[in-house]
Amino acid sequence: MTRMLIVGPPGAGKGTQSKRISEELNIVAISTGDIFRENIKGETDLGKEAKKYVDAGELVPDSVTNRMVEDRLTWDDAAEGFLLDGYPRNLSQVAAFDEISSRLDVKLDVVLELTADTEELTSRLVQRAETDGRTDDNEDVIRHRLEVFQKETAPMIEEYRQRGLLQQVDGLGEIETVNARIMDALKA
């Protein structure tokens, strides 16, 4: 059983690789971004609350996100391990997640970071905007999401490095190539 996080800048391919990892390790992939997008589409209360932040490329307030993740982790499908994609995303969410982990008695095995350079990321995201139609994939919002990543998420990744949980994988290359690198890193 594996309990892990996948982290990395917007456009690094977390979603694509998460899907593969979850199939290969037989664990549920939980993406906070996907949950927000589904709720926005379904016009639920959570969606109404999250929409303005998501569309602006801002983080949804921690209180909302932490509660949502804790609830999701109590579902049956997370009992045999999980892959969290997009959470925690800043140091305050790491502190909240520490508490959630101890309440639910789930200890993290590994934090996988997908790395990629900013120029490649921007062009991937602009391209994705054309195919997926994500409302937060326009150039200004993309730039802002990258800034939020540098400012809020990079320090959180450093925290996991210091805890000895971080495995870094180069996210540039074919989907298959990156997937093979990830599987190698997870064996280590």
Q: Which residues are catalytic?
A: 14, 89, 128, 134, 145
Q: Is 153 within 8 Å of 160 (Cβ atoms)? A: no
Measured distance CA(20)–CA(179) in Å, rounded: 7
CB of 160 to ligand ADP, least distance (A): 14
Q: Is 42 annotated as a binding residue?
A: no
CB of 187 to ligand ADP, least distance (A): 26
Measured distance CA(100)–CA(81) in Å, rounded: 15
Measured distance CA(179)–CA(188) in Å, rounded: 15
Indicate the burial class of 13 (C-beta count within 10 angstroms; 0-12, 13-18, 19 or more).
buried
Q: Is 173 annotated as a binding residue?
A: yes
CB of 188 to ligand ADP, least distance (A): 25
Q: Is 10 within 8 Å of 52 (Cβ atoms)? A: no
Q: How many helices (H) and strands (E) does the chain have?
A: 9, 5
Q: Is 11 annotated as a binding residue?
A: yes
DSSP classification of residue 153? I
User: Which tokens belong to 24?
Assistant: 């290969």
Strand locations in 25-176 (E): 28-31, 82-85, 110-115, 166-170
**Of 145 and 181, which CB lies nearer to ligand ADP in the complex structure?**
145
Q: Is 32 annotated as a binding residue?
A: yes
Q: Which residues bind ligand ADP (CB under 6 A)?
A: 10-11, 32-33, 36, 53-54, 57-60, 65, 86-87, 89, 93, 136, 145
CB of 173 to ligand ADP, least distance (A): 18
Q: Is 118 annotated as a binding residue?
A: no
**Of 69 and 182, which CB lies nearer to ligand ADP in the complex structure?**
69
**Of 33 and 171, which CB lies nearer to ligand ADP in the complex structure?**
33
**Of 55 and 170, which CB lies nearer to ligand ADP in the complex structure?**
55
Known binding residues? 11-16, 32, 37, 58-60, 86-89, 93, 128, 134, 145, 173
